[in-house]
Structure 1
Amino acid sequence: MGKILVTGATGNVGRHVVTRLAKAGLEVRALARDPVRAQLPVETVRGDLTDPESLEPALDGVESVFLLWPTTSAESAARTITAIAKHARRVVYLSADAEDAADDEEPSYFHHGVERRIRHSGVGWTFLRPGGFAANTLMWAAQIRQGVVRWPFGRAARALIHEKDIAAVAVHVLTSAGHNGATYALTGPEQLTQAEQVRIIGEVLGREVRWEELPVEQAREQLLAAWGDPSFVDLALQGWERFVTRPERVTGTVERLLGRPALTFRQWAEDRAADFS
Structure 2
Amino acid sequence: MTQTQKILVTGATGTVGRQVVAELLERGHEVRALTRDAGKASFPPGVEVVEGDLTEPEGLTPALDGVTGLHLITFGGAAFSPLDTGPRILELARSAGVRRVTVLHGGGPTPLEDAVRAADGVDWTVLMPVEFMANALEWVDGIVTAGEVREPFTDRLSAMVHEGDIGAVAAVALTEEGHGGQEYVITGPDVLTVGDKVKTIATATGREITLVELTEEEALAQWRAAGLPEDVIGFLLMAYGDTPEVGRTVSGTVEKVTGRPARTFAGWVAEHAHVFGGRS
Into which bin does the TM-score normalised by the smaller protein fall? Answer: 0.7 to 0.9
Which residue, out of 77, 93, 104, partners 1:94? 104
Give yes or no for the alignment of 1:22 onto 2:20.
no
> How far is the alpha carbon of 1:212 from its aligned partner?
0.5
- 8 Å CA contact 2:6, 2:29 repeated in 1: yes
Alignment check: 8 A CA contact 1:131 1:159 kept: yes
- TM-score normalized by the length of structure 1: 0.87
CA contact (8 A) 1:32 1:38 kept: yes
User: Residues 5 and 65 of structure 1 are in contact (CA less than 8 Å); yes or no, is this contact kept in structure 2?
Assistant: yes
Q: Counterpart of 1:129?
A: 128
Q: Does 1:59 align with 2:57?
A: no
3-state DSSP of counterpart to 2:242 = helix
Report the Cα distance in structure 2 between the residues aligned to 1:52 and 1:138, rounded to whole angstroms: 34
1:106-130 per-position Cα deviation (integer Å, ceiling 9, x unaligned): x6x234x332211222232011111
Matches within 5 A, 1:151-230: 151-230=151-230
Aligned residues: 265
Note closer, same or farther for the CA distance 1:68–1:244 as it changes in structure 2 (3 Å cut): closer
Deviates more, 1:71-80 or 1:209-218: 71-80
Alignment of 1:265 onto 2:265: yes
Distance (whole Å) between structure 2 residues aligned to residue 76 and residue 26 of structure 1: 27
Q: Which residue of 2 aligns with 1:142?
A: 141
Task: Classify 1:246/1:187 alpha carbon distance in 2 versus 1 (closer, same or farther; 3 Å).
Answer: closer
Q: Which runs of no fewer than 5 residues in structure 1 stay unpaired?
A: 97-106
Please state how far the C-alpha of 1:74 moved relative to its aligned partner.
Answer: 4.2
Shift of 1:29: 0.7
Measure, in 2, the Cα distance between the counterparts of 1:230 and 1:67.
Answer: 26
Return the offset for 1:209: 0.8
**Contact kept in structure 1, 2:99 and 2:123, CA below 8 Å:** yes
Tell me which residue corresponds to 1:13: 16
Equivalents in 2 of 1:29, 1:152: separation in Å? 41
Offset from partner CA, 1:250-274 (integer Å, 9 cap, x none): 1111112222221111111111223
1:164-216 CA distances to partner (integer Å, 9 max, x unpaired)?
Answer: 11111111222211111111111001110112111211211111111101121
Q: Which residue of 2 aligns with 1:115?
A: 113
SS of the aligned residue for 1:36 comes to helix
Specify the alignment match of 1:101 in structure 2.
Answer: none
- Report if aligned partners of 1:144, 1:202 keep a CA contact under 8 Å in 2: no
Residue 74 of structure 2 is matched in structure 1 by 69
Given that residues 156 and 247 in structure 1 are in contact (C-alpha distance below 8 angstroms), is that contact kept between their aligned partners in structure 2?
no
Answer with 255-264 or 72-81: which moved more: 72-81
Shift of 1:143: 0.7
Residue 20 of structure 1, CA deviation? 2.6
Determine if contact 1:133/1:162 at 8 Å carries over to the other structure: yes
Q: Tell me how far apart the structure 2 counterparts of residues 53 and 228 of structure 1 sit (CA, whole Å).
A: 33
